[in-house]
Amino acid sequence: MAIQWFPGHMTKTKKLIKENLKKMDMVIEIVDARAPLASRNPLLDQLTAGKPRLVLLNKSDLADPGVTEQWLRFFENGNEIHALAVNSKSNKSLKAVPSECRKLCKGKKWINRRPVKAMIVGIPNVGKSTVINTLAGRIKAKAANQPGVTKDMQRVPISRELQIFDTPGLLWHKFDDQIVGMKLASLGSIRDSILHLDDIAFSCVTYLSGEYLDRMVKRYKLNLEDPEEVPAPHVIIEEIGKNRGFLQAGGSIDYERAAILLLKELRDGILGRITLEKPDDPLRYWPVIAPLETKIPEG
Ligand code: G4P
């Protein structure tokens, strides 16, 4: 059964983006560097066609640096799209954003007269508010009317070079793709109650054992009988529970507690810098597990 994501909201948000985009010079799209495809809304390509775009691979401090390089090359598209890997909690990391925006609008006749107007878009939890707040510095993000721009859009002055307009509404990934759901759930970007925790952990460990087995072996002191043979995901999770002494009454291993620990440590970066998809093969290793029920996330 597919997960349904805000069908009503999406229609309204799409309409607002389309209307307001006419007044914008460009788009700043924020994605999670740990899953850059899963954390973007594919409708954006269609909605923002023809506008210059800066893609920010945010949370790159938590992502695998080598894979982030591959994603930067994937997104960079000559004059139309630039991509930057950023950690939006750091001022320094976002320093290049205004000048990149100006570069993208180079040659426009207004470029020396006024700031670039950029609409900022991203699905929830990719770090949009953090990017805006860090860029704005001490200037608080506040709603301001702008001729021709609906009051649902928040204008945030950044500098003499750049003004940011926050997208109205929530821009969810429109998907019925369970793999995308599993990746976002693994990163904690959709609430654990929407998908089953055991399924998220199983799916995630399947990927991690293909790409980052050594990290799990080291962190959880896994005892691989045959180093050539990768244990099944549920065996790894059980081993984690066993090694941490997560036992239930009766002595059986508390599988759920082990799954929670693994996901928490992945999300917090304790397992190291990890990326859950690669540009050459984004579906790699992710088993499809259908959730038992359909729920609409709260927004
Ligand atoms: P949103 O507006 O797109 O929904 O996302 P928001 O900025 O609220 O960020 C979601 C979470 O991601 C926050 O953590 C935020 O601190 C964290 N975050 C944002 N950008 C980065 C980044 O570049 N690197 C890292 N490591 N984390 C980032 P939280 O746990 O929800 O809140 P808190 O830790 O700020 O209290």
pTM over 0.95: no
Q: Is the CB of 68 under 6 A from ligand 1?
A: no
Q: For residue 252, what pLDDT is reported?
A: 94
Region for 223 from its dihedrals, namely left if φ exceeds 0, alpha if ψ lies in -120 to 50, beta otherwise: beta
- The Cα–Cα gap between 167 and 114 comes to 21
Q: For residue 298, what pLDDT is reported?
A: 44
Query: Which CATH number belongs to the domain containing residue 183 in this structure?
Result: 1.10.1580.10
- The Cα–Cα gap between 138 and 109 comes to 31
Q: Is the CB of 219 under 6 A from ligand 1?
A: no
Angle at Cα 75 formed by Cα 141 and Cα 8, nearest 5°? 55
> What number does the ligand 1 atom closest to the CA of 86 have?
23
Q: Is the CB of 70 under 6 A from ligand 1?
A: no
Q: Which residues contact 47 (CB under 8 A, 6 or more apart)?
A: 14, 17, 18, 21
Query: Which CATH number belongs to the domain containing residue 76 in this structure?
Result: 3.40.50.300
Provide the domain limits for residue 35. 9-166
Q: Are residues 204 and 161 in the same domain?
A: no
CB of 25 within 8 A of CB of 181? Answer: no
Q: Are residues 207 and 101 in the same domain?
A: no
Q: For residue 294, what pLDDT is reported?
A: 40
Q: Are residues 143 and 208 in the same domain?
A: no
Q: Are residues 127 and 191 in the same domain?
A: no
- The Cα–Cα gap between 126 and 142 comes to 20
Distances in Å between the Cα of 225 and the Cα atoms of 206, 217, 235, 237, 258 are 18, 12, 12, 15, 20
Q: Is the CB of 129 under 6 A from ligand 1?
A: yes
Q: Is the CB of 57 under 6 A from ligand 1?
A: no
Q: Calculate how far, in angstroms, residue 148's C-alpha sits from the geometric centre of ligand 1.
A: 31
Q: For residue 198, what pLDDT is reported?
A: 87
Q: For residue 291, what pLDDT is reported?
A: 45
Residues of the chain scoring pLDDT < 70 = 1-10, 138-152, 168-176, 192-194, 288-299
Give which of 159, 162, 150 is closest to 54, Cα–Cα: 162
Q: For residue 88, what pLDDT is reported?
A: 96
Residue nearest to atom 18 of ligand 1 (CA): 127
Q: Calculate how far, in angstroms, residue 121's C-alpha sits from the geometric centre of ligand 1.
A: 15
